[in-house]
Each structure stands twice: as C-alpha cells, then as structure tokens.
Structure 1
Amino acid sequence: MLENIWPNLANQPAWLQQTLDFLVAGGIAVAIAFVVHWLAFRLLSALAKASESESDNILLQRLGRPTLWGLIALALVLVAREQPALDKTWDKVAGFVMPALIGWIVIAIVHALVEAMKLRSDITVANNLEARRRRTRLAMFSRIASFIIVFVTVGLMLLSIPGVRDIGVTLVASAGLAGLAVGAAAQPALKSLIGGVQLAITEPINIDDVVIIDGEWGRIEDIRTTYVVVKIWDERRLVVPTSKFLEDVFENWTKQTAQLLGTVFLYLDPATRMGPVRAEFERQVRAHEGWDGRVQKLQVTDTTPEALEVRLTMSAQDAGTLFGLRCDIREGMSDWIAENLPGAIVRRRYLRVEEDDREQVAA
C-alpha cells in the first residue's frame, strides 16, 4: 500500500512496511469509525429529542463512549485481517479487549435501563412507598448485575492467558480442591452479594426510608451490596454494613406508611385545670399546616407531688413535618401557659412551720 504512495519505502524491511501499512490503514479506519459514530448518534439524538420520553436520551448518553470504542476496535480488527503478521498479534490482544468492550456495553445498557425505569418511580409525592420500593429493587438489581458482568468479564479476560487457562483446567480436574479454593477466596464477596439479594427480597429498608440506627436519625440515601448510606439530619453520612440491617435491631419509621404520631410533654403544677390547656392545644394543632387531621389528644400520663406530666399527641404526614409540628406546638403552648396560666408553671412549695407548731410536733 505505502509503496504506491511513497516509492522510496519499497526497499525497507518487510516488518517496517507492514507496520506502516497498519498505522496508516488503522488511522484511516479509526477516522471512519469516528465519523460513522458521530453521524449515527447525531441522527439518534435528533430522534430522541423529538420523542417525549427521557429514556431515549439516557440510553444514548450511556452508550456513547462504549459504542465509540467498540467501533474503533471493529475497525482495527478489519485492518488487522488484511495484515497476516499483525492479525496474529491482534488475536492475542483481542482476548483482553473484546470481553472488556462487550462487558462495558452490557453494563451501560443495564444502567440505562435502570435509570429509565427510575423515571417512573417518583419519590417526591406524598404517598411514595411503592415508588421507594421499586427504586430499591432497581438499585440492588443494578449492583448485582454489574458485579456479575464484571466477574464474568474478568474471567473471560483471564482465560485468554494460556497459563491461567491451564491452571483453570487443572483446578477443574480436581473439583474438590477447586471448590475449597474458590469458596475460601470468594467468601466475602459472595456473602456481600447474598446479603444484597436478601436485602432486596425481604425489604427491611427502602430508598428514602426514615430510620434510627445506633441512636442516629436519618434517611436511607443509597443501598449497595456491601453497605448502606444513611443521610443524617445534620447532613452527615452514616455508612452501615448491609449485615447490620439483616442481623441487628433498628427502627424504620416509614416501613408501611410515612404517616407518624409524635408527642410533646409538658410539666404543669398539680393544681392546673386541664380544660383550658386542652382547648388551647386543640386550637393550635388545628391551625397548624403540618397537622394531617388524624390524631390530636391531651392526656395526663403521670403525677408527682410537684408536677403533672401532660402528653400532647399529634399526627403528621411524614417525619420531617412531624418534627416541625412538635417544635411549634411545644413553643406555642409554653408561651400561652406563661402568658395566660402563669400559675400552671411548676414550682416547688415549702411549708412554713411556726414556733408553736414546732413545740406541738416535738411534744
């Protein structure tokens, strides 16, 4: 090829001519692959923009880079086949490159499908339990599928090495030893994988669940095969092993529904009449935008010689709203009692004993 372009190269060694032929032909093939990829994705992008669905855009965005490198590899394969010497070299490299590219494309397709399905699961609505469950299953499926694809891809790449292939055949021949070796080496990974599958099936937690674990209040932000990320109320992240949600006790405030009951405790003087306090509490709760209209109740739950323990119970649609409702009611009732019933504030009483009374007691 090159001797037709540059006659002076005709006298060069054969290997040099073959290398230069491959470089020139390879460069042309790669350029063609870039142009074909650009034209194809330009057309597909136009069609995706015309569509109302966002799934097309996600799929194109995910497949852009892996398909480009796949076309480049395909172009180099076609060029190498025209050069017998380089074809042998490519056969050795293809065992690494092709499984990696195929695995990359498969992972991109899986992630694109998962993201497209997540668009149908809106967790910003009030009743989002089913959407959170669906997102949790999709997240776990994505993690497990990615792990399996990477595992198989790496296995195929290693099998392209003759020495590794021979070792694998030897181990397969001694099945008992191979089982022990593989089981011992893969025990942590398999345990995490099985734990992730169990977490997805049993669903003790879902994405955006409100939980209390190790005394910390937060929301489930991400679920992976080996750990769970809990976003705490002060913006910190608590990284918890998956096994902890399967083996230990924790609180899930949104397991069945996001609606919750909350309490506020007041400590009032034993002589306080509950009628005015109950009326004011009901008025403040009804006027608050965070109350969902389900529960409002005032009860005297305990008495001591110095105070009455009064529990104010109220309900809200979710944990965040309930927290704000409790804080506002606590502040509002405290201000109202201080202004309208100052006698209800807890105080310590002392009995003054006169001198004559002391003498009578002593007698």
Structure 2
Amino acid sequence: MPDVLKAALIVLGSAGLAIVVVEILHRLVTKAGHRSAVAADLARTAHRPFLASATVFAVQQAIRAGAGEFPARAGVLHTLVILFIASFAWLVAALLLVLEDAALNRWRLDVPDNLRRRRFKTQVVILRRVTVAAIVIIALGVALMTFPNIRALGASVLASAGIVSVVAALAAQSTLGNVFAGLQLAFSDAVRVDDVVVVEGEWGRIEELTLTYVAVQIWDDRRLILPTSYFTTKPFQNWTRTGSAVLGTAEVDVDWATDIEPLRSELRTTCEGSELWDGRVCVLQVTDAVGGMVRLRALVSANDAGALWDLRCLVRERLVNFIWRHQRDSMPRVRADLSQPGPAGPVRPVPKPDPDSPDSRVFSGGDDGDSRGIAFGGPEEPVAATVQR
C-alpha cells in the first residue's frame, strides 16, 4: 500500500508540475501574440497537444525513475508510451498547421495579380494533407511496433507485403489514381486554387483542391464536385493559368446599312469611362456578314473574370442603346423586293475607315496586338499549297 500511494503521489506531482510549466509557457506565447500573428496562432493551435505531450511524458518519466514496483507497472508504462506517441504526432501536425498559416498569411490572395500566390497556396495545402496523413500512418506504425507479438510478426508481414500491395492496389485503383492526380495538379500548375475555369459547361472558380476531389464554385454559388483525375484526363478551360487578366467578347447583329465607325467610337467611350476596363484591348470588328445581317464583335479586356463579365454586359447594353437612339435603321431586318427593277437611288457617302486605328485590330497595332499576333500567327502560305509544291 505505501508503494501504491508513493506512485500516485509521484504521478500527481509530475503531472501538476508539467501542467504549470506548460501554462506559464502558454501565457508567455499568448502575450507575444499581441505583437506577432505567428505567436498568436501558435498559442491557439499548439496549446492542447503540447499540454498532452508534456503531461504524458512527465508522468512516464516519473514512474520510471521513482515510482518503484507496483501492480500492473508494465501495462501502465506501455499505455503511457502509446499515449505519448499519439500526443506527439498531434503536436507535430499542429506545428505544421501553424507553419502553413504563417506562409499563407504572408502570401495573401486578395491582390490584383496573384498567380504565384495561388500556385504557392495550392502546393502548401496539398503538402500539408500528405504530411498529416504520413504522420498518422507513422504514429500508428510506431504504436503497433511497441507490442512484442506484432514485432515478431514483422518478418512474415514483410514477406507477404508484395501480395498485399497488389491486392490493395487493385481494390483502391480509382482512389490511388485520384491521389496521384491531386499531386500532379499541385505541381504541374494545370489548375490552382482560385483559378477561373470552365468545366462541364459551367463557369466557376476553384474553391478547394484536395488529394481526391476538386470543388468548383459556380458563378451562381453552386458547388461542382469533381474527382481530381477529371482534370488530368478530360479537357477544360483555365482562364487564369498565366495571369488573371482575360479577354471577352460581346456580339451584336445589325443590318447591312449600319455605320460602323460611330459604334466603334461608342465602344471606346464606354471602355474609357468604366473602371472595369484595364486599358489593354478595346476592339470592334465585323466577324460575319451572311444571312442578311452583319455581326459585330466587341473584344474587351479586364483584370479578372468577374470584372470582364460585368464589362461585357455593359458594352452590350451601351451598343444596343446607341443603335436604338442614333441608328434605328441599323436594326436587323428581313428584306423582300416586290417592285420592278428601276434606276438606282442615291448612294449614301461612306466614311473612309482608318486602317491604322487600333480599335479595328486584334492581332496587330500596338504592343499588345503585335504580341498576340506573334503568339497566334500561323504559316504565311496555306498548308495545302505548300503540300502541292
């Protein structure tokens, strides 16, 4: 009985001392958190796992050193070893979470051009998930190896590992495929967190990217959940792979009698008067003239996909309003000539277009147009003519 009482007193004393030391350190780190965001996050996230690890370790060492022999001593020490392994793994995972938060706070996404920041966030999130999974597996393996019977079975387990791995690979083929696809997406820059994509006919933003699935936030706040292997096996559009600035079009069908130059001036006025336009591209072109109508395409640019959508709607609205107010005869119509042929009427003078106007060119004129022409330029002669030679 005195030995049991002595062991209990030693356990309570060591546990109390560990708790006091941890609480003192916690208060110091919390006080430092008023000046440092990392210290504040550390005090908030790592307090409980550190308290559990320190308490279990102190009790274990106290029993080993001064408790002496008492009933079930070996079982208690073995239980404390397993608890320390679990609590220490919890502490390591918490420290990794603190490091990730510190890195992500330094590389924030709420900036105009956040391409590198989105790539960094994607890789950090994927690495943290992989690391946490590895910590759990290693901790579980170390805890199991503390049992003598399991250590004796280690040789036979290693001998049959080949067969087990084959069976497990066949059973979890799709899951493992998604895991490797997630790692590939994280380091290939094919898609990143906060990228704007068009997938399955839906336009949205990459909200979350994990090892097994990708969550796409659709523009109307729906969520499209896809396996990560989808983005490595099927085509999709990524509007922000090389930058957040994008181009967009607004098309309008008008009559052949439409005067194009005033509409081009109206487009320029609309873009220059809106904060949505980034100052790069503002072009109005005739892209089709069949079926009794002329199709006008306004090509504009913006800093991001959201601003581009609003700018396209604004341009379409202003062009329609301008045509209705100033060129009502330019609205699309269907013609039927029922009269006898007669002398031609007076010809309306057509203003001479300016061939050097940058508002009528997409792949030439200005630094931005010239660079786009080089990027999308093809052979100078048709391929068929080259083959015939």
TM-score (norm 2): 0.79
- For residues 45-124 of structure 1, the aligned pairs below 5 Å read 45-50=30-35, 53-81=36-64, 82-84=67-69, 85-124=71-110
Give the gaps of 5 or more residues in structure 1. 1-13, 355-363
Measured at CA, do residues 305 and 179 of structure 1 come closer, stay the same or move farther in structure 2, by a change above 3 Å?
A: closer
1:93, CA displacement in angstroms?
1.3
> CA offsets per residue over residues 198-231 of structure 1, 9 Å max, x none?
2222121111111111111111112111111111
Q: Which stretch shifts more, 336-345 or 27-36?
A: 27-36
> Which residue of structure 1 aligns with residue 246 of structure 2?
260
In 2, are the aligned partners of 1:295 and 1:315 still within 8 Å (CA)? yes
> Which residue of structure 2 aligns with residue 235 of structure 1?
221
In 2, are the aligned partners of 1:171 and 1:178 still within 8 Å (CA)? no
In 2, are the aligned partners of 1:263 and 1:313 still within 8 Å (CA)? yes
Q: Distance in 2 between matches of 1:89 and 1:77?
A: 12
> CA offsets per residue over residues 300-336 of structure 1, 9 Å max, x none?
1111343111111111111111101001111111112
In 2, are the aligned partners of 1:227 and 1:241 still within 8 Å (CA)? yes
Quick one: which amino acid aligns to residue 36 of structure 1? V
1:154, CA displacement in angstroms?
1.7
Please point out which of 15, 18, 33 is paired with 1:30.
15
Q: Does 1:159 align with 2:142?
A: no
Measured at CA, do residues 311 and 176 of structure 1 come closer, stay the same or move farther in structure 2, by a change above 3 Å?
A: closer
> Which residue of structure 1 aligns with residue 350 of structure 2?
none
3-state SS of 2:280 partner: strand
Q: Distance in 2 between matches of 1:188 and 1:108?
A: 30
In 1, are the aligned partners of 2:202 and 2:218 still within 8 Å (CA)? yes
Q: Does 1:286 align with 2:269?
A: no
> Which residue of structure 2 aligns with residue 331 of structure 1?
317
> Which residue of structure 2 aligns with residue 170 of structure 1?
156
Q: Distance in 1 between matches of 2:169 and 2:37?
A: 43
> Which residue of structure 2 aligns with residue 301 of structure 1?
287
In 1, are the aligned partners of 2:177 and 2:229 still within 8 Å (CA)? no
Count of residue pairs brought into register by the alignment: 337
Q: Distance in 1 between matches of 2:174 and 2:294?
A: 55
Quick one: which amino acid aligns to residue 295 of structure 2? E
Q: Which stretch shifts more, 80-89 or 38-47?
A: 80-89
> Which residue of structure 2 aligns with residue 200 of structure 1?
186
Quick one: which amino acid aligns to residue 31 of structure 1? G
Quick one: which amino acid aligns to residue 21 of structure 2? V
Q: Which stretch shifts more, 37-46 or 84-93?
A: 84-93
3-state SS of 1:38 partner: helix
3-state SS of 1:119 partner: helix
Quick one: which amino acid aligns to residue 46 of structure 1? K
1:21, CA displacement in angstroms?
5.5
Quick one: which amino acid aligns to residue 296 of structure 1? C
Please point out which of 6, 16, 25 is paired with 1:40.
25
1:197, CA displacement in angstroms?
2.3
Q: Distance in 2 between matches of 1:281 and 1:70?
A: 67
In 2, are the aligned partners of 1:265 and 1:312 still within 8 Å (CA)? yes
3-state SS of 2:34 partner: helix
Measured at CA, do residues 191 and 308 of structure 1 come closer, stay the same or move farther in structure 2, by a change above 3 Å?
A: closer
Q: Distance in 2 between matches of 1:121 and 1:191?
A: 30
Q: Distance in 1 between matches of 2:222 and 2:7?
A: 55
> Which residue of structure 2 aligns with residue 129 of structure 1?
115
In 2, are the aligned partners of 1:80 and 1:90 still within 8 Å (CA)? no
Structure ranking higher in helix proportion: 1
In 1, are the aligned partners of 2:178 and 2:227 still within 8 Å (CA)? no
1:255, CA displacement in angstroms?
0.4
> Which residue of structure 2 aligns with residue 9 of structure 1?
none
1:273, CA displacement in angstroms?
1.5
Q: Distance in 1 between matches of 2:303 and 2:38?
A: 32
Q: Distance in 1 between matches of 2:161 and 2:193?
A: 41
Please point out which of 111, 121, 130 is paired with 1:144.
130
Q: Distance in 2 between matches of 1:336 and 1:102?
A: 70
> CA offsets per residue over residues 108-144 of structure 1, 9 Å max, x none?
1111111111122121111111111111111111111
Q: Which stretch shifts more, 259-268 or 21-30?
A: 21-30
Q: Distance in 2 between matches of 1:87 and 1:190?
A: 43
Q: Distance in 2 between matches of 1:322 and 1:176?
A: 55
Q: Distance in 1 between matches of 2:172 and 2:56?
A: 33
3-state SS of 1:49 partner: coil
Q: Distance in 1 between matches of 2:47 and 2:175?
A: 31
Quick one: which amino acid aligns to residue 313 of structure 2? C
In 2, are the aligned partners of 1:270 and 1:305 still within 8 Å (CA)? no
In 2, are the aligned partners of 1:211 and 1:251 still within 8 Å (CA)? yes
In 1, are the aligned partners of 2:205 and 2:217 still within 8 Å (CA)? yes
TM-score (norm 1): 0.85
Q: Distance in 2 between matches of 1:86 and 1:164?
A: 21
